Structure formats: structure tokens, C-alpha cells
Chains A and B, each alone.
Chain A
Amino acid sequence: MRTTRRATPLPIGILATVGVAFLAIPLLGLLLRTPWSRLPELLTSPVATEALRLSLICSLAATAIAVLVGVPLAWVLAQSRLPGTTAVRALVTLPLVLPPVVGGVALLLAFGRRGVVGQYLYDWFGVQLPFSTAGVILAEAFVAMPFLVITVEGALRSADPRYDEAAATLGAGRWTVLRRVTLPLIAPALIAGTVLAWARALGEFGATITFAGNLPGVTQTLPLAVYAALDTDRDAAIALSLVLLVASLAVLLLLRDRYLRASSS
């Protein structure tokens, strides 16, 4: 019963320190260069508030779509014993590893006004998704939903099916079991997946600028505003970056302490 921790070997300690420094120094650089005194002024400028507002609306809407469609999808994937399930699972998680710009091009080819589906939307309803706020939401949902699907599906697969079976033998219908037993069981994973998807949607850049373009007030979200401001007002770019950094950090702290640890134990 030796519980004393062995000392970390020196080479490993050194390399680990290099690793931490490599990841932390750029963020430190951002903080050191932040124009703190001008921060209120920079963050309340019309461009910044428009981008903040748009980012909040779009990321929340994209997350809502991801939850609405992604949870049923995760449920089906977890239950299915059909031979094609693995292929479908790979397909729906593809946006996770796909370069976002490629995702944007794919969206353009599918939902653009000459796209596979988009041409009908345009010809029949006059709906043009590129260069619209709806286009931003679509692009964000496209890249964010896989985070939710894999998180929830993982929880569903590892959940003990005996709880569901016990509820069923006690006379609960399928819907009741899902609502009263399954969903509460996977609640931590559902929340973690939702928050992860939201964070991904908030930071989305490549698919958005490729598919929805960049127009202040309509499609220019925070990351796009950072990119645009980098060329003119670096202080504004840093201030907006700081907002994204704080949001991401908050998400990670929340997840680590409340849900990631709980769901992995």
C-alpha cells in the first residue's frame, strides 16, 4: 500500500513545462497586449456590439437546432444495430475534423442559390441562404452539431440499459422511459454536449465567411469582426478576441468541474 507519489523524472518535467509554455504564452501575449483602459470604449463600438449581438443570436440558434436534431440522431445511432450505422456515425462526425472552409464550400454547393438543394429554395420560395443571417446559423449548426451528437451518443451507449428495462417492466411506456429515465441519466452529457456545441458555434469562422460572407450587422460574427479589425484597428481585434477567450475559458471551467469529470467517473 504505497501511496507516496513518485517524483516526476526531470526530462518529462522539462518537456511538460515546454508544452504548457507553448500553449499558454500566446494567450498571455493577448492579455499583455490588451488595451485595458480602452476596453469599455472598444467593446461598445457599433461594430463590436453588432458582432456580439449577432454572435449570441446565431450561436444560440445553431445550438438549438443541434439539440433539436442532434439528440434524436444520437439516440438512433446508439440504438441501431443496422449494418450501415458505423458509416452514418462517421458521416455525421465528419464536420468535426473537416477544415471549416471545406465545410463552407460544401454548404455553398448544397444550399447556395445554384446548389443541389438551394436552387429549389431559391426558385420556389426566393430564399437565398448565402449572405443572410440564416446562412450563418446553418454554417454554425453544421460544424457544431457533431460535438453534441458524439457526446450524447457516447452517454447513451454507456448508460445501463437495465434502468430502462426496469422502468418498462414497471409499466412505463417508451416515451415515459425516454423522458423520465433515459434523459435524466444522460443529462450531464447532454449539457456538456450542448455547451461544447455552443462554444464551437460561437468561434466558427471558416464555414461562416465562406458560405455566409462578411457584412456587419448581417453576417459578421465576432470571429469575422476580429479578422476584419486586424487590418485596421488591432486594439479592437484584441478586445474582441478577449471576449471569445473569456467565453471559451468559462465553458471549459464549467465543463471540467461540473460535467466532464462527473460523466467520466
Chain B
Amino acid sequence: MSRALAFGAVAVTAAAVIGSAGCSTNSTTSTTITVGAASSLTDVFAQIGDDFTRANPHITVRFTFAGSSSLAEQIVQGAPIDVFASAGTSSMQPLIDSQAVTDARAFASNSLQIAVPPGNPAGVTGLADLPGVTLLVCQEQVPCGGAAQRLFEKNSLSVSPASLEPDVRSVLTKIEADEADAGIVYVTDVRAAGDSVMGISIPDDQNVATLLQAAVVTDSAHRDAALAFVSFLNSPDAQARLAAAGFAAP
């Protein structure tokens, strides 16, 4: 809640700054770019945004966080977004193909983990235990769901999930409440959830990786600033923030 309020305050302040800049005769031009980023990047991008503005004081960054596929749809419909950062390539690739975005580059990768309630009541130790427990996965349309599907296929695992949740957050909520025995989410989601869930690691040879990409929206009115932000994601500072949040290098 407080984060939402903080974002609101930032947005209002930013709007006020832009408003006053527009009326004044001040010669320094400040730019505000809007970054549409996957929900899983919420915490780490807030930090990276601060770092970026510190390094580029004339550029203010606003974020809109949503599922990658929703953001892709919004960009196609002409939403005023300058940078698109997606979790997974399936939402990004169609935009690259249709030239709705340019300069796409990967900046991190993420892998999957099994989230279980604290204490692991069902005693899940690995993928092999999943067919016998109440299992939650994301629906296939969102990246975490697509990745879970690839995980099951790669390991020839036949599972019947109890529910196909709309996003990672609703998987974790039900795991935290101990309503389900296990859920498939990203490593970074488990880390961000803190003590409320436990993570059971999936060995690298069984796991699947998801690439995170950022790109400049072709219709952006602030191409240079947008490109600067996309490049900044691969800077040592941003990479350190991403690593701290549990992301791997691309």
C-alpha cells in the first residue's frame, strides 16, 4: 500500500514538475519517460530508476507495472510507453517482428523454483513430488505459466494443477495461506516473498531459463532518453541491483 502511495506521490510530483517546467522560461529541458515493466521487476526497477535518475538528472522515469502480455497489448494499442521491459520473450518477439519496438536487448535471466508454505507441510523435495500434491501454476498466457509448461515438458512430468492462476502474486498468496502445497514461480519471486514462503531449488539441468528483454517503443517521443534507460540496464550498477534481487546475467 505504502509503495503504491509513494508511486502516486512521485507521479504527482513529476506531473507538477513537468507542469511548472512547461510554464516557466527555464532553459534546462527535462524529460520524463514511462517504462512499462513486467510485474516481477517492480521492486528492483524502482531502485534502478533511482540510480538512473541520479546518473541522468534531466531524465525522470515513471513506471507502469503489469503482466508482460498486458503491457504488450497496451503498447500495440498506442499507450504512451517509451520503454518496454518484458519477462520472457513471447510477449516481446511479436512487437519486434511488427517493429512496434526497436533496440531490444536482454538484460537478465530468471529461472524457476518450487514455492512451498513455510515448513513445507507436504514434504516436497523436487519436481518428482509435484504430481501428488495440490499444485498451483500461472496460466499459460503469462510468462511464469509458459515457463512452467516448458519445465513440465522438459522433464516429461505429468501434473494436474489445482488452478491456473492469473499471475505470480496470486500463486504466492495461496501458498502463503497454506491453501496449496506447492507452486511454480520464479527464483526472484520466492526471494522477494521473504519468509512467507520457502523455495525448493530445481537443479539447473532440469530447470528452464526465461530471458528478460528491454526495448524502445518505436512511437516514443523521447527516443534518446528511452535508449539511455535500455542501455543503463546492462550497466554494472543495474546488473548489481538485478543480481541482488536474484536475477542471473542474460
State whether these chains interact.
yes
Given A108-B179, A109-B177, A112-B179, A227 and B166 contact (CB-CB distance below 8 Å): yes
Which residues of chain A are near B174, meaning CB under 8 Å?
A: 108, 130, 213
Q: Is the CB of A130 within 8 A of B141?
A: no
Q: Which residues of A contact B161 (CB under 8 A)?
A: 215
Asked if B189 CB lies within 8 Å of chain A CBs, one says: no
- Is B178 touching A214 in the complex (CB atoms < 8 A)? no
Closest to A112 in B: B179
A113 at the interface (CB under 8 A from B): yes
Main secondary structure of the interface of B (DSSP, over half): loop
B177 touches A228 (CB 8 A): no
Does B93 lie at the interface of the complex (its beta carbon under 8 Å from any beta carbon of A)? no
The distance in angstroms between the C-alpha atoms of A212 and B174, with both chains bound, is 10
Binary CB contact string for chain B from 7 to 50 against chain A (1 if under 8 A, 0 otherwise): 00000000000000000000000000000000000000000000
Least CB separation from A119: chain B residue: B178
Quick one: closest B residue to A232, CB to CB? B141
B245 at the interface (CB under 8 A from A): no
> Does A131 lie within 8 Å of B69, measured CB to CB?
no
Interface residues of chain A: helix, strand, loop or mixed (majority): loop
The distance from the CB of A143 to the nearest CB of chain B, in whole angstroms, is 18
Give CA–CA (A113, B141) in the complex, Å: 28
Asked if B87 is at the interface of the complex by the 8 Å CB criterion, the answer is no
Residue A257 at the chain B interface, CB threshold 8 Å = no
Bound CA span A220–B139, Å: 12
Query: A215, B162: Cβ atoms under 8 Å?
Result: yes
Q: How far is the CB of B173 from chain A (nearest CB, A)?
A: 8
Decide if A112 touches B165 in the complex (CB within 8 Å).
Answer: no
Q: In whole angstroms, how far apart are the Cα atoms of A54 and B139 in the complex?
A: 19
B178–A228 touching, CB < 8 Å: no
Report chain B residues within 8 Å CB of A231. 67, 69-70, 73, 139, 141-142
Q: What is the bound-complex CA distance between A24 and B171, given in angstroms?
A: 36
- Bound state CA distance, A128 and B141, in angstroms? 27
The answer to whether B177 touches A131, judged by C-beta atoms less than 8 angstroms apart, is: no
Name, among A105, A108, A231, the residue most crowded by chain B CB atoms within 10 Å (CB to CB).
A231
Q: Is the CB of A131 within 8 A of B163?
A: yes
A114 at the interface (CB under 8 A from B): yes
Contact between chains at A209 and B170 (CB < 8 Å) = yes
B164 interface contact, C-beta 8 A: yes
Q: Tell me the residues in window 136-187 of chain B with beta carbons closer than 8 Å to chain A beta carbons.
A: 136, 139, 141-142, 161-166, 170, 173-174, 177-180
User: In whole angstroms, what is the CA distance A114 to B176 when docked?
Assistant: 11
CB <8 Å contact, A228 and B141: yes
A114-B179, A215-B161, A228-B141 given; 10 more Cβ-contact pairs under 8 Å: A112-B177, A112-B179, A209-B170, A213-B163, A215-B162, A215-B163, A227-B166, A228-B139, A231-B69, A231-B141
* Chain A interface residues toward B at CB < 8 A: 105, 108-109, 112-114, 128, 130-131, 209-210, 212-216, 219-220, 227-228, 231-232
